[in-house]
Structure 1
Amino acid sequence: MPPAPIRERVLDLVALLILISLAAAVFMLAGPEAFTAVTSVGLGLFAAWRGRPPRP
């Protein structure tokens, strides 16, 4: 499998940074008891987005 183009890798990085930022913001608002839920949802969303089949 050939490596992903730079554009896709940058998009992955931006998406991951946005999810981390959102998780941090929710964590600050909800407190430590929400950390596991927020982290799990964020990782699940990123994995689902990243696991999509490549476009032709």
Structure 2
Amino acid sequence: MREQVDVIEVCEECDTVWLEGQSVSMDAYTDLDPYMSGIGKEPLWSNLEPLERGAQR
């Protein structure tokens, strides 16, 4: 079974998360800890897979 994959943007300095399609702004964001907990993962950078900028899934 393949794991669900979400494409998100994460600020490396403050661990702010924006979901794919959201504007990167302070009006619409969540924090990495509750986002990762919500998908059943520990909020560790090792649980994220970086994509090249502009890469499509």
TM-score, normalising length from structure 2? 0.27
Structure with a larger share of its residues in strand = 2
Which has the greater radius of gyration? 1
TM-score, normalising length from structure 1? 0.27
Structure with a larger share of its residues in helix = 1
